[in-house]
Amino acid sequence: MAKMLILEKKVNVATSDKDIVNNMYKVRFEQNKFVVYDWDFKKTTKTFNFSRFVDIYKEFINSELRFEKFETAKSDNEWVNVCMDLVKSGNIWLYLTDSNDILGFIILSKDNDVMIIHELSVSEISRGNGYGKQMLEFADILANDMHLNTLRVRVFDKNTVAKNMYISYGFHEIGSYDSETSNESLYSTGNVEQIKRTGKYTYNNKKRVGGRRRFKCLDCGQRFHEFMQLYHHAEKFHKDLIGDQDVYRYLYEKRNPGPYICPICNKNPREWNDKTHKYRRICRSPECIKKAREKYSKNMKRVYGTDNLLTDPARQEEMLKNRSISGIYTFEDGVKISYVGEYEHDFIMHCVDKLGYGSMDVINCPSKLYLNYYDPYTQKNRFYMPDFYIPKYNLVIEIKDGSKFPRDSKAKAKLKEAAVIKANKFNYVKIVEKVYSDFDGLIEMFNNDAYAEKHFDKDFVFIIPEDTSK
């Protein structure tokens, strides 16, 4: 049984070396790539070696095993999975040199007026040079900048090196507990969700579609929960086979050997799309584009009764109510799509510019997918009209600006979301404040369905971000 100490100190940056902020960078996973932010939370051109980070985190966990035995990753691929989860949490700061070498990392989060230090570690070859103290100074500076007044951390009582470092920096013990038996929260000031070292994502109590190790490496047979884990595995372990090829293209062609010929004319080759990481569905011939559009319109009329959702009376009514902020976007082929407000327009541009989507990829949500629900507050039956729809993935998209709505509006949003889950007839993602990470991740997963096992998970995915507004 291991004893854990809870230590804390008041934030004080009077004697801190503020130059440390120039070495600390926040890393995130956005639009299926790693993005590095500086102290001012601005994107940088810096890069970092993800494999090196995996090695450093593995060093840290193995050092913790000296004080308590707990379940850890059992293979290199599982370590990649764990570290991808950590990066996706958005709470990691790396200590990077000018040459992008990783000296250490610190994982921080905010809980009311307290800055929580979840984990701090310096790479084995860099220890003894004061980098741990410098990262504590950075936590002080960041907490002060965020107007927080306390730093808090937990440490094994037997970990004398770490404990002495914290104490020498001004931390003092405020409590302790037995790690194996106590259910006491480490962070007693609030309900901070602790970062898990292992586990799977869940979306509204449903297992993520990627949670069944669906992505198989056809070179060595190993399986992965997410495509990006397969991507980094291939990039690291099969570089000799990939050579100078694009990794996305190599994996796609490995699974789908072709030929990549336009299905309309059965003659022209299809081009590789660097945005979607797949071959285009048809060639760029105007005749083929026209025929594909005619076929699409025929299917739309058969399924939804119209090939132009702008004629939908409910959509027209919605736009009339918001006519001062409504608009029409015209795709390259002349097809139009309506939007209400800046956030919906931004979503359309995201689909066009980032994903390479056209008029056949994203449309206004059809009336056949509108949902009825009962509103107990007004004791009336209402209908819910989502914003957009991606037919090929049966994916409904709801766009919100994230402003602080009144309580009754939040309650109605919960009723709508409950109706979506109860209906269980389409995939659903809610995008708040132009944060597209969940949406892009879902699209990437669907895009790479070709890499997955033939028996696709039939459960629909519902991604509804937690409402954190007060």
3-state secondary structure of 56: helix
pLDDT of residue 188: 32
Please tell me the predicted confidence (pLDDT) of residue 355: 85
Structure confidence at residue 282 (pLDDT):
86
- Three-state secondary structure call for residue 462: strand
Round to whole Å and give the CA distance between 307 and 393: 18
Q: Which of 136, 133, 109, 106 is nearest to 121 (CA)?
A: 106
Q: Residue 144: exposed, middle, or buried by beta-carbon count in 10 A (0-12, 13-18, 19+)?
A: middle
* pLDDT in the model for residue 184: 36
Residue 29: predicted pLDDT: 82
Mean pLDDT in runs of 10 for the chain (470 residues)?
A: 84 69 87 83 87 90 82 78 80 90 90 84 88 91 86 90 92 76 34 28 38 68 73 84 88 83 90 84 87 80 59 58 77 86 92 87 85 78 86 89 59 84 86 84 70 49 68
The string of DSSP letters for 311-357 reads G-HHHHHHHHHTGGGEEEEE-TTS-EEEEESHHHHHHHHHHHHTT--
pLDDT at residue 303, as a whole number: 64
Torsion angles phi and psi, residue 148, rounded to 5: -100, 155
Query: Which residues of 182-250 form beta strands (DSSP E)?
Result: 202-203, 206-207, 215-216, 223-224
The pLDDT value recorded for residue 241 is 87
Question: CA–CA separation, 460 vs 447, rounded Å?
Answer: 16
pLDDT at 166 (0 to 100): 93
Domains of the chain are: 3-185 (3.40.630.30), 311-470 (no CATH)
CA 140 from centroid of its chain's CA atoms: 28
Q: Which residues does residue 110 pair with via DSSP β-bridges, in sequence order?
A: 115
Asked if 141 and 158 touch (Cβ cutoff 8 Å), the reply is: no
For residue 257, which amino acid is it? P
pLDDT given for residue 220 in this prediction = 80
Helical spans, DSSP H, in 154-270? 160-168, 227-237, 239-242, 247-255
What are the structure tokens assigned to 456, written together? 């696709």
